[in-house]
Amino acid sequence: MQSVLPSLFFYALATMILVSAVVTITRRNAVHSVIWLISTLLGIAGLFLHQHAEFLAAVQVIVYIGGITVLFLFVIMLVNLDEAAKKKQFAGQWKIVVICAGALLAELGFFIFKGAEGFYFAEPAGGSLQPNTQLIALALYRDYLLPFELASLLLLVAMIGAVVLAKKDLK
């Protein structure tokens, strides 16, 4: 029983993620889509937690769900989407459907055919992921200092841009 539980978690979360994702892109009502997106993101946060990435799981919930999806909801409320709900939802581009489905099936077929060992990756180097937050902090401020500073510039630009583009009256 001990060894089955992790797999069970994975299958449960994976199902939740896939079902929510499919529903997200098939809803007509944008608010419904956002809610199902939240469900997808929660499932992913659960998988992060499952893989000992606690910091990222927390950031996923706080930033993605608590920030980005709330922003989506704000914008949906600000603009009037009633008439969008009445339009036909899918374009008739069936050829691309076939290509996408074909590519996906090819990859899955390869996986099933070769078995789980078919995809092989580089050797694990060993090391530790714990204590998670401390190690991430060390990495961010030492190994990845430059991208970190660039991230702050990026957020500055995004803030300026959002104000310049969306503010009602700029004087």
Residues found in the chain: 171
Joined together, the tokens standing for residue 86 give 């009445």
The Cα angle at residue 134 between residues 130 and 136, in degrees rounded to 5:
85
Minimum CB distance to other proteins, residue 144 (Å): 5
Q: Is residue 12 a contact residue for other proteins (CB under 8 A)?
A: no
Q: Is residue 108 a contact residue for other proteins (CB under 8 A)?
A: yes
Consecutive H or E run containing 71: helix 70-78
- When binding is defined by CB under 8 A, the residue of 12, 98, 109, 110 that contacts other proteins is 110
| Contact set for other proteins, span 60-89 (CB under 8 A) | 60, 63-64, 67-68, 71-72, 74-76, 78-81, 83-84, 87-89
Dihedrals phi, psi of 121, to nearest 5 degrees: -120, 180
Cβ of 57: how many Cβ atoms within 10 Å? 20
Contact criterion met (CB below 8 Å) for 42 and 65: yes
- When binding is defined by CB under 8 A, the residue of 12, 98, 104, 131 that contacts other proteins is 104
Minimum CB distance to other proteins, residue 128 (Å): 6
Q: How many residues bind other proteins (CB under 8 A)?
A: 97
Q: Is residue 102 a contact residue for other proteins (CB under 8 A)?
A: no
